[in-house]
């Protein structure tokens, strides 16, 4: 019988997704050992207060309790004042097998997450991302660094959380994708649905933030940039179409009013924030994110509330529809675990 292998791992960003990842791992410890022959020992932790390192691993129950009480990593044994994650990776990389990246998003430069991921990959550490920033700012550099150092980088959690949009697209072997469209942001989808019921915009947004689904900066959701970033990542990884964020036409939902939603309903239509990549004659893609009126029987119209969905048209696999319901960060955390297990089992 194969023995269980214990891996030393670190996590940058112990917010709602990070805490949930700990809870999922604790809940599924036996399944991970029995079915996948892996065990995780968290030796590196980082949040906004700084970093901590413990060669024998942190007690995840203690970390969860600390964070739930409003505590910081700085209050844990092993905290290293004046040291940042980059320093820790440089110093302890031989003792770390895999790094989870779930820190707040920086869409301008991707840093410090991008710098930290590059450092990890260069030192033979596998990387799993829930943070879109490094991919948006440095996708090709990350891919090349991982390949050069014979390590893996996976990021299915960055697009629609638990819905494996990137994995599905990458497994459409030899397909020519003609149309790729979806509802990629459950926060805006929920807000539009609630406004259709007469609820105030700000009230719906507040609930999304309280549930840990909305981005730290909610303008990323409601102005369409979270969706645009996900579309950009899909363009790189699924469509093999390199482009920049400025190439995507982006419009958010802040201009949509309850009256507009009610008038659309009278015509059997609904508003959705739709990401679209449409193939054009020269073989490239036109990319857009905008509030779109869709017929109530359309697949995306039936992607409701906290759901996210993707529709893919290709020459080999016809039209594919996938959607999922995500109201809590458990699906995103579980997608990170899925990527980690896939990396380590390979």
Please state the rounded mean pLDDT for residues 270-274: 97
Please state the rounded mean pLDDT for residues 293-301: 96
**Which residues, listed in sequence order, are joined to residue 269 by a DSSP beta bridge?**
295
Nearest by Cα to 17 from 168, 231, 120, 162: 162
What is the pLDDT, as a whole number, of residue 215? 65
Q: Are 163 and 310 in contact (CB under 8 A)?
A: yes
Estimate the crossing angle of helix 330-345 against helix 29-36, to 10 degrees: 30
C-alpha–C-alpha distance, residues 202 and 189, integer Å? 14
Straight-line distance from the first to the last Cα atom of the chain, in angstroms, rounded to the nearest whole number = 18
For 127, which DSSP code? E
Q: Are 229 and 235 in contact (CB under 8 A)?
A: no
Query: Residue 30 catalytic?
Result: no
C-alpha–C-alpha distance, residues 50 and 24, integer Å? 24
pTM: 0.92
Average pLDDT over the chain reads: 94
Please state the rounded mean pLDDT for residues 225-239: 96
What is the pLDDT, as a whole number, of residue 1? 54
C-alpha–C-alpha distance, residues 161 and 335, integer Å? 6
User: Which domains are delineated in the chain?
Assistant: 5-162+330-345 (3.40.50.720), 165-325 (3.30.360.10)
Catalytic residue among 67, 152, 230, 279: 230
Length, in residues, of the chain: 346
Q: What count of other Cβ atoms lies within 10 Å of the Cβ of residue 319?
A: 11
C-alpha–C-alpha distance, residues 165 and 162, integer Å? 9
Q: What is the pLDDT of residues 119-144, one digit of tens each?
A: 999 999 999 999 999 999 999 999 99
Please state the rounded mean pLDDT for residues 259-276: 95
């Amino acid at each position: 019988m194969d023995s269980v292998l214990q891996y030393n791992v670190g996590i940058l960003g112990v917010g709602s997704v990070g805490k949930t990842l700990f809870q999922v791992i604790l809940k599924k410890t036996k399944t991970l050992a029995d079915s996948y022959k892996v065990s995780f020992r968290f030796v590196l932790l980082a949040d906004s207060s700084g970093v901590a390192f413990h060669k024998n691993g942190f007690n995840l129950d203690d970390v969860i309790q600390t964070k739930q009480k409003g505590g910081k990593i700085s209050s844990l044994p092993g905290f290293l004042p004046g040291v940042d994650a980059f320093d820790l990776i440089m110093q302890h990389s031989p003792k770390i097998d895999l790094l989870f990246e779930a820190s707040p998003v920086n869409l301008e430069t991707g840093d410090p997450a991008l710098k930290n991921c590059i450092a990890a990959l260069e030192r033979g550490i596998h990387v799993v991302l829930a943070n879109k920033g490094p991919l948006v700012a440095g996708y090709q550099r990350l891919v090349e660094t991982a390949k050069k150092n014979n390590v893996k980088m996976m990021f299915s959690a960055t697009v629609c959380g638990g819905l494996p949009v990137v994995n599905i697209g990458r497994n459409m072997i030899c397909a020519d994708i003609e149309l790729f469209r979806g509802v990629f942001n459950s926060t805006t989808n929920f807000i539009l649905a609630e406004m259709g019921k007469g609820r105030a915009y700000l009230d719906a947004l507040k609930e999304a933030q309280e549930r840990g689904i909305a981005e730290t900066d909610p303008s990323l959701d409601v102005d369409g940039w979270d969706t645009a970033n996900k579309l950009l990542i899909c363009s790189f990884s699924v469509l093999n179409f390199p482009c920049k964020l400025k190439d995507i036409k982006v419009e958010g939902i802040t201009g949509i009013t309850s009256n507009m939603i009610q008038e659309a309903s009278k015509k059997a239509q609904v508003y959705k924030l739709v990401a679209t990549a449409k193939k054009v004659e020269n073989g490239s893609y036109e990319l857009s994110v905008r509030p779109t009126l869709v017929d109530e029987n359309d697949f995306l119209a039936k992607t409701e509330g906290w759901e996210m969905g993707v529709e893919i048209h290709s020459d080999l696999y016809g039209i594919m529809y996938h959607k999922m319901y995500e109201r809590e960060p458990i699906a995103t955390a579980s997608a990170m675990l899925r990527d980690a297990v896939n990396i380590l089992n390979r």
